[in-house]
Amino acid sequence: MTIKVYGGEIGEALQDDNKGWTTSVKKAPVLIKFSVVPLYELVGPGSRGYTHLKLAFERKIAQHKKDLAAFSARLERSLTDNVPTGPSISWHMISRGDAIPPTAVWAGEHRNDGAVYVGSVGGHVGKINTDSAGKMYNFWAHGLGSSSSNVMIMCYTGVDEKHQAESNWHTIRKYDEIPRNAVYGGKTSNDGYNFVGRFNGEVGKINTNNSKGNSMCNFWGHSEGRQQGGGPRPVEIFLADEPWSATMNVQR
């Protein structure tokens, strides 16, 4: 095995004189080659302990390769799991009469509202309905009632058609673990953490069983009330591209 290093002009600076050596390297870099020899080769094949040293060396090298492979796998998982490529979720303020943003998440058609979109006010997730012109009309959430101004509407990067985010809705029921890429919708004194949910075409909040926010308790919708999933009509939770903790600080 050969290691290549850069050294300066011979005789201009000693290697233990770091400052002088560094200056020398910058001034006149010269490529120096060193051959690295395993310890057992210094002993020689006919010497005592040669075989023992060689086996020990080979075992050590094999272990280092194994450790390096395991570290590389952990690093790759860490990069994949914990580092978003950029937030896919954003929240934008909207009021009655404003146009619905082109990337807003259409959640479906509800019997009382027609087309509804995902919204949030004061930590409550709910539905945004529209007027006859397709512009924002009211926000409705369980436990909060209606709001017509200063409502946050959820947008999702890459969505430019009504049904494009439909595959992001996934079935969930009471006591199920909240997926790590569920979209955080806010926090209230009654619910704690809550997440973006849907039932029967209506957007609502999915609250959690404990302060850690890691398992579903109930879905709450303005019209549909409390739902726990498991019936013929499923409760669904919206999943995005990054961990929900990454969406907590998104401006809402």
Residues 186 and 62 in one domain: no
Query: Residue 100's pLDDT is what?
Result: 94
Mean pLDDT of the region 144-155: 91
Structural domain includes residue 109: yes
Q: What is the pLDDT of residues 175-190, one digit of tens each?
A: 999 988 899 888 888 8
Residues 37 and 122 in one domain: no
Backbone angles phi, psi at 44, to 5 degrees: 95, 145
Q: Assign 140 a pLDDT band (cuts: 50, 70, 90).
A: very high
Residues 33 and 147 in one domain: no
Query: Residue 13's pLDDT is what?
Result: 41
Query: Residue 192's pLDDT is what?
Result: 83
Residues 54 and 156 in one domain: no
* Helix, strand counts (H, E) of the chain: 3, 16
Poorest-confidence range of 70-74, 78-82, 211-215? 78-82
Residues 93 and 11 in one domain: no
Q: Total domain count for the chain?
A: 2
Of the residues 82, 111, 138, which one is the last residue of a structural domain? Answer: 82
Q: Assign 41 a pLDDT band (cuts: 50, 70, 90).
A: low
Domain hosting residue 54, numbered range: 2-82
Query: Residue 23's pLDDT is what?
Result: 55
Query: Residue 203's pLDDT is what?
Result: 95
Q: Assign 5 a pLDDT band (cuts: 50, 70, 90).
A: very low
Poorest-confidence range of 63-67, 138-142, 164-168? 63-67
Round to whole Å and give the CA distance between 29 and 226. 74
Structural domain includes residue 189: yes
Of the residues 35, 50, 82, which one is the last residue of a structural domain? Answer: 82
Structural domain includes residue 252: no
Of the residues 42, 58, 82, which one is the last residue of a structural domain? Answer: 82
Round to whole Å and give the CA distance between 101 and 103. 5
Other Cβ atoms within 10 Å of 90 Cβ, number: 17
Q: What is the pLDDT of residues 75-112, one digit of tens each?
A: 555 444 433 334 588 888 999 999 999 889 988 888 88
Residues 68 and 97 in one domain: no
Round to whole Å and give the CA distance between 153 and 169. 17
Which 3 state secondary structure label does DSSP give 66? helix
- Give me the percent of the chain exceeding a pLDDT of 90: 30
Mean pLDDT of the region 220-230: 90
Q: Which residue has the higher pLDDT, 1 or 202?
A: 202
Q: Assign 39 a pLDDT band (cuts: 50, 70, 90).
A: low
Structural domain includes residue 105: yes
Structural domain includes residue 9: yes
Residues 160 and 226 in one domain: yes
Residues 78 and 101 in one domain: no
Residues 171 and 193 in one domain: yes
Residues 231 and 109 in one domain: yes
User: Both tokens of residue 39?
Assistant: 């310890």
Mean pLDDT of the region 188-202: 89
Residues 42 and 139 in one domain: no
Residues 126 and 242 in one domain: yes
One DSSP character per residue, 140-173 reads EETTTEEE-SSEEEEEETT--STTTTGGGEEEE-
CA terminus-to-terminus distance, the chain: 58
Mean pLDDT of the region 215-225: 91
Mean pLDDT of the region 112-128: 91
Structural domain includes residue 93: yes
* Contact status, residue 119 vs residue 154, Cβ threshold 8 Å: yes
